[in-house]
Structure 1
């Protein structure tokens, strides 16, 4: 079982809850990452506030839906989302401030079981269906577990370090999958609905990567959820597991994917 008696002290959520404005998160870049190439991650989106500032990542899963983390869009610690009009997504660009298309949201759907780092999933229904191009493509959702020790790719605009600079160009990095028992041993978060991704110090996810994709064999296996002991620590990062049966069923019921 997962033990969390000290988690709020030792864990740093990717979307800060103590921001000056009333909604969402900070900006950023993946720790230790490399520049993404044009078209390398056509499923990746930048979830932005209505003022154009990047707040989280996300992935296109159909012409009508983007998937991201619940904590990117909920009010406080609850499960009620902010109004869809507060957000937009940039698709088809590796730059968070230009290129591609900016799209409005029609609706935000949050998993009703979200809380205590679990079921951290939300669906963003687009105001108008996407037209797929070379740089705008959906990603297939994983149905199977990632074997321990396999390479998993993460991407996004998370910070270089906990208080580091914010690049305009998308970053990516390669982490290692851990199984449930290994995750429990490392950070006491061995829940079947999570996937932990190990990395060397000065690598991994950071603020602004929330909700962004972790992929294995070209399929979406995880959504960036939390980091432990700050960005780029020696501890693995936590991702919401897409292949978890309850998560896949919830996604199907709410998006048809």
Structure 2
């Protein structure tokens, strides 16, 4: 028997409230300082020498970010010469090193914040250290296997994000801020925000907590430090009661592997 839509909506609302209330403290919006070794794959993406978004290191020559951060118009990127990334520092203004960008590839299906993913290729390879390293990508499972059905994270899975986005008072922090979230599975995200796409990963947090301007492109990692998503956008004002949205990395593994050799 089909479950009435009202019952589903009430169930989703109850789940959102319970997840938000049980979430650990410490968010990017009004958040908690990260240490130098917590998120060594995190990079500050800089456009015309100013921080605009996050980027996440996946190899010594490639990073992932949100497509809208590097889009000039649609799938046409801004000039690579206007971009750079600061790596190896939790201070967005100093330390580490700034590396120039050689090229940018936006996902060919990007539009209206769907498929909001881009690959950045650096002009020179990074030298990995304790403060600069690649995040681990998910493991591809055989198509049609039993494991394929469980590639979406279970509802309420703890995940973690770090960024230099705006904090509670509207300022941009100089020190990297870290956040704890819980995932919201596709059916619940569809009910809560109309965004239950297979390509998306929805994140919940307490109200007035969450990602904000400047956090797009950050890695969403699980307890095993595996990259599960790249942050994309938040609905309405930062810290609203709506879930935040990321691009689900498992969905894009073939594209990433084909274009980030």
TM over 0.5: yes
TM-score bracket for the superposition, by shorter chain length: 0.7 to 0.9
* Other-structure match for 1:62: 59
Instruction: Tell me the number of residue pairs that the alignment of Structure 1 and Structure 2 aligns.
Output: 223
The 3-state SS of whatever aligns with 1:75 is: strand
The 3-state SS of whatever aligns with 1:120 is: coil
How far 1:116 sits from its partner (Å)? 2.0
Tell me the TM-score normalised to structure 2 length. Answer: 0.83
Following superposition of structure 1 onto structure 2, how do residues 165-184 of structure 1 map, counting pairs within 5 Å? 165-184=171-190
* Other-structure match for 2:205: 199
Alpha-carbon distance between aligned partners in 2 of 1:142 and 1:119, rounded to the nearest angstrom: 18
* Other-structure match for 1:209: 215
**Structure 1: which 4+ aligned runs deviate by more than 6 Å?**
none
Larger C-alpha radius of gyration, 1 or 2?
Answer: 2
Match of 1:43 among 41, 44, 51: 41
Alpha-carbon distance between aligned partners in 1 of 2:209 and 2:108, rounded to the nearest angstrom: 32
The 3-state SS of whatever aligns with 1:196 is: strand
The 3-state SS of whatever aligns with 1:186 is: helix
Contact 1:32 1:173 in 2 (8 A): no
| 1:14-47 Cα shifts (integer Å, max 9, x gaps) | xxxxxxxxxxxxxxx9213200101111000000
How far 1:238 sits from its partner (Å)? 0.5
The 3-state SS of whatever aligns with 2:94 is: coil
The 3-state SS of whatever aligns with 1:182 is: helix
Match of 1:105 among 101, 104, 117: 101
Alpha-carbon distance between aligned partners in 1 of 2:190 and 2:113, rounded to the nearest angstrom: 14
How far 1:235 sits from its partner (Å)? 1.2
Following superposition of structure 1 onto structure 2, how do residues 1-257 of structure 1 map, counting pairs within 5 Å? 30-50=28-48, 52-76=49-73, 78-143=74-139, 144-161=151-168, 164-216=170-222, 217-244=224-251, 247-256=252-261
Tell me the TM-score normalised to structure 1 length. Answer: 0.84
Contact 1:142 1:219 in 2 (8 A): yes
**Larger relative helix fraction:** 2
Alpha-carbon distance between aligned partners in 1 of 2:56 and 2:113, rounded to the nearest angstrom: 20
